[in-house]
Amino acid sequence: MSALKLYVFDCGMLRFESIEDFSIADDETDIRDLIVPCYVVEHEDGRLLWDGGLPSKTADVDGWQGEGMLSRLDRTFSEQLPEIGLDMSSFDYAAYSHMHFDHVGVANEVHGATLIIQKTEYDATFADEVTVPGVDPTLYDNLKDAERILIEGDHDVFGDGRVRIISAPGHTPGHQVLFIDLANTGPVVLSGDLYHFAISRQDRRVPEFNVDRDMTLASMDRSC
Ligand SMILES: [Zn+2]
């Protein structure tokens, strides 16, 4: 069995003036910057893109931009991919932890990949009238009719148990996390926005903008 490989890309940063929307008081931690990664999983049977970072247009402006919540993107994902010999049409599968704007920034730029998405997330974020906060359908609307695998629960991506999408709803209707069994670290869970800060995990803090608090707590119970 050949080794799985996981590549991590810098797909931007967010900076918050206040983190109270995460149900954390501003004096509980000094941390205000959150990283926004994109991941590429290389398996002998295919290649998976997991999460799509900030919108590529963020890189049109140098440094931090916006107000309240600042963002920055120093190099787009498509500029970085050639470093591992890939481009935006190199993926067999694409899956996003959820459809918030900071996780699907490159979604419309990915070509030829089969989308793996929870049915609940698809129904909520491709609806004629999208009511989920924090999503921007113009970032992912090309995917509406893309080849897709609609899942309702967990999904073993390559069928050998080493790369598994785990349903973890609550942050959004169909939020999901990625379990990956790496040879040199052992099992790792890429937890999307199930947790934003260490204190979120320690104290089970649920952001105020999550769509379902009880569902989030149940997802935390399942994945810890
Ligand atoms: Zn989110």
Cα(192) to centroid(ligand 1), Å: 7
**185 alpha carbon – ligand 1 mean position (Å):** 26
Please report whether residue 9 resides in a domain: yes
Average pLDDT over every residue of 80-86: 98
In a domain, 28, yes or no: yes
Query: How much is the pLDDT for 222?
Result: 86
pLDDT-derived band at 1 (thresholds 50, 70, 90) equals low
Flag whether 41 is in a domain. Answer: yes
How close is the Cα of 76 to the center of ligand 1, in Å? 20
On whether residue 189 sits in a domain, the answer given is no
> Which of 224 and 4 is assigned the larger pLDDT?
4
In sequence order, what are the beta bridge partners of 95? 50, 116
Question: Ligand 1 center to residue 212 CA distance, Å?
Answer: 13
Torsion of CA 142, 118, 215, 15, to 10 degrees: -40
Please give the sequence-ordered ranges of beta strands (E in DSSP) within 5-121, or none if there are none: 5-16, 33-43, 46-52, 69-72, 93-95, 114-118
- Whichever domain contains 45, its CATH number is 3.60.15.10
Q: How far is the CA of 133 from the centre of ligand 1 (A)?
A: 9
Query: Tokens 């069928």 correspond to what residue?
Result: 159
- Cα 144 to averaged position of ligand 1 atoms, centre (Å): 20
Q: Residue 1 C-alpha to ligand 1 middle, in angstroms?
A: 35
Strand partners, 116: 95, 149
pLDDT one-digit tens code per residue, 123-175: 999 999 999 999 999 999 999 989 999 999 999 999 999 999 999 999 999 99
- Look at residue 224 and tell me whether its pLDDT is greater than 60: no
Domain interval for residue 111: 5-159
Number of domains in the chain: 1
Check residue 68 and give its pLDDT: 87
Q: What is the mean pLDDT of residues 109-121?
A: 98
Give the Cα separation of 88 and 90 in Å (integer). Answer: 6
pTM: 0.96
Task: Please give the distance, rounded to the nearest whole angstrom, from the Cα atom of residue 137 to the centre of ligand 1.
Answer: 14
3-state per-residue secondary structure call for 156-213: ECCCCCCEEEEECCCCCCCCEEEEEEECCCEEEEECCCCCCCHHHHHCCCCCCCCCCH
- Cβ atoms of 52 and 106 within 8 Å: the answer is yes
How many angstroms does the Cα of residue 160 sit away from the middle of ligand 1? Answer: 29
- Please tell me the predicted confidence (pLDDT) of residue 12: 98
Structure tokens, 82: 């050639």
Q: Is residue 176 part of a domain?
A: no
- Write b or e for each residue in 193-222: b if 16 or more Cβ atoms lie within 10 A of its Cβ, otherwise e: bbbbbebbeeeebbbeebbbeebbeebbee
Give distance in angstroms: CA of 179 to centre of ligand 1. 18
**Among candidate residues 13, 60, 6, 4, the one with its CA nearest the CA of residue 37:** 13
Task: Please check whether residue 203 lies inside any domain of the structure.
Answer: no
What does the pLDDT average to over 173-188?
A: 96
Provide mean pLDDT across the span 62-71. Answer: 95
Q: Return the residue matching tokens 């459809």.
A: 99
In a domain, 174, yes or no: no
Is 215 within a domain?
no
